[in-house]
Structure 1
């Protein structure tokens, strides 16, 4: 790999001049600039981002921390973030905490050491270590979907209460009265919001909430499979299930098939997120579509603006979700 010294020698200038050309830190004669740029291209010299950041106090790199990259929802949010970041001249370093708050805090320290200009965080749950770390660091940051106790930052989320309400209202409109909910972890804000919407819709319809119809799982297909097995084993089993994400809904449909329960004839299932896989499940999944790409784009735009204007008022944005009707829901055989 070529060095700055080799570029300087071949272009017959000093290393200082090469540095000024790369960083635009001083006027350099047009002749010297052209020679330096020609040699950089010839030798395929790649300037050190860290060295440049020491001069400019900018790396044009954003750090992003997500809980689990095996969830397609996050993949689609990341795509929106990357698209917007690239257009704005920023690169992304992505870290995955695998839902471990300790690993999350360790990775954030690594990102800080890389001199990122800003941080995007989808929290894996909060602990004192994380809250203190983020509170101590003056780095610009945007939280997505999940707030962190004691941390003041821009916050981008979807309206999870509205989504849970709309999913349950749709099942009610089909004539279902025995509606169960497979929720995510009860420690996470999005999960709690969707349950709140579910209970709100039931209460409006005059249907009593049944604790045995609410099961918390872990947002994975296996978690959904296990939760549906539990619900289908009830003596008075539900005629419809609202799963708080598509992965759990798809795992649940597999559990229903294994139990000889026909979807949607015997059991209606509605998911949440509208990941790409949802339209290819068997049957195709009715779901609540989150504006994933829009969330990602808005997150990147908000962070870049925060980097440029660190003292601007904090921004909170809530995006709406929408109902997508496919073939996993129908009226109950006996309303």
Structure 2
């Protein structure tokens, strides 16, 4: 059966225009409406039930809140969200919380004022009880992060096991003195990835040296500065695991600024597999998240909430994988 993409292609318009023809024809030129409807008739295109229900609601706008729009990790998640949104007649409104919980709370007013039909949170920076209160009144989905004990549909990976997997890889390369640059401890991702690191070190009876565990904030700058701190100790690590790729890039550049090389002197592993990790020099070994799939699943869950579909499962843990590149090497010391 033909989809909205085929209609848009044959009518020589965007997918968003086809959606507006079906949901808000008053916003589209008459000639365009005629052309789109002719293609719809020729192809016998049938919008799905969710889209039809949405057109009956007050708004087809959905709000997506990201913690930091400058973090390229979220670009593919957003692509996945928008792909499903457009297929179902939605428009996506993006909100940047700027890593500020108070700013994140402000976006909740868009739901309260009924300017959005639902919301996808790509951050869990606000209090769990507030998220639960909003989710009891409006369709809300949490993606990438989660909140313990909160009954809100969620899509994420297992951050503990994936961090454990990355640490095990370094241990199996023979590294015994492993540094770790964590995310902020006030975030669930920061805590979970640190937990996975500790679990792997304990499982293989590798001593964790407290000085070699430093807290960053997921930014390039913090990765650079925390790596300089690790290099200041008399016994430098032979390998470093950074809790995201941005910090890993900072760590690599700090190592090279001190006249050392990656991976010959120090191996570095990251987390997230953002696009730049494959073209960075050296190409970064990292944990890959299924970002596009996280986005599509989150949007599908939100559609289910909005159209009051029966949901037998609301918590989804998607697969991750370790991507091996050039930034890790067998321990030579």
- Give the alignment's TM-score, normalised by structure 1: 0.80
Aligned to 2:305: 306
Which position in structure 2 is the counterpart of 1:96?
96
Aligned partner of residue 75 in structure 2, secondary structure: helix
C-alpha displacement of 1:238 = 0.6
1:126/1:149 contact within 8 Å kept: no
Which residue number in structure 1 is paired with residue 176 of structure 2?
A: 177
Partner of 2:66: 66
Q: What residue number does 1:14 align with?
A: none
Contact 1:81 1:300 survives alignment (8 Å): yes
Alpha-carbon distance in structure 1 between the residues aligned to 2:278 and 2:330: 20
In 1, are the aligned partners of 2:144 and 2:294 still within 8 Å (CA)? no
Matched position secondary structure for 2:241: strand
5 Å-filtered alignment, 1:233-244, equals 233-244=232-243
- Conserved? CA contact 1:104–1:124, under 8 Å: no
Any idea what the Cα deviations from partners look like across 1:273-310, whole Å, max 9, x if unmatched?
00000011111101110111111111111111121226
Asked if the contact 1:66–1:124 (Cα under 8 Å) also holds between the matched residues in 2, the reply is no
Question: CA contact under 8 A between 2:104 and 2:125: conserved in structure 1?
Answer: no
Deviations 1:86-134 (A, max 9, x none): 1222111000010111111112213542531111012252248944762
Counterparts of 1:182-331 in structure 2 under 5 Å? Answer: 182-309=181-308, 312-313=311-312, 315-331=314-330
When residues 43 and 250 of structure 1 are mapped into structure 2, their CA distance, relative to the original with a 3 A threshold, is closer
Helix, strand or coil at the partner of 1:126: coil
Cα offset, 1:197, TM superposition: 1.2
* Other-structure match for 1:85: 85
Per-residue Cα deviation, 1:24-52 (whole angstroms, up to 9, x for no partner): 9xxxxxxxxxxx99x950599xxxxxxxx
Aligned in 2, Cα 1:82/1:43: closer, same or farther, shift over 3 Å? closer
Determine the C-alpha separation between the residues in 1 that align with 2:272 and 2:147: 22
CA offsets per residue over residues 48-102 of structure 1, 9 Å max, x none? xxxxx99933422211111001001111211111112112221110000101111
Instruction: Find 2:30's aligned residue among 41, 44, 47.
Output: 41
* Greater C-alpha radius of gyration: 1
- Contact kept in structure 2, 1:154 and 1:316, CA below 8 Å: yes
Find the counterpart in structure 2 of residue 7 from structure 1: none
C-alpha contact 2:262 2:282 (8 A) present in aligned 1? yes
Size of the alignment, in residue pairs? 294
Q: Normalized against structure 2, the TM-score is what?
A: 0.81
| 1:113 aligned onto 2:108 | no
SS in 1 for 2:107: helix
* CA 1:58–1:255: 2 relative to 1, 3 Å: same
Q: Once the two structures are superposed, what CA deviation does each residue of 1:248-293 show, in whole Å capped at 9, x if it has no partner? A: 0001111111111110010000000000000111111011101111
Q: 1:182 to 1:42 in 2, by over 3 A?
A: same
The 2-side partners of 1:281 and 1:91 are apart by 34
Q: Distance in 2 between matches of 1:139 and 1:194?
A: 31
Question: Contact conserved, 2:23 with 2:89, CA < 8 A, in 1?
Answer: no
Q: Equivalents in 2 of 1:325, 1:163: separation in Å?
A: 14
Measure, in 2, the Cα distance between the counterparts of 1:179 and 1:165: 13
Q: For the structure 1 residues 236 and 42, does the alpha-carbon distance in structure 2 shift closer, same or farther, using more than 3 Å as the test?
A: same
CA distance in 1, matches of 2:307, 2:134: 19
Stretches of structure 1 that go unaligned for 5 or more consecutive residues are 1-20, 25-35, 45-52
Residue 301 of structure 1 aligns to a residue whose secondary structure is: helix
Q: d(CA) in 1 for partners of 2:160 and 2:194? A: 7
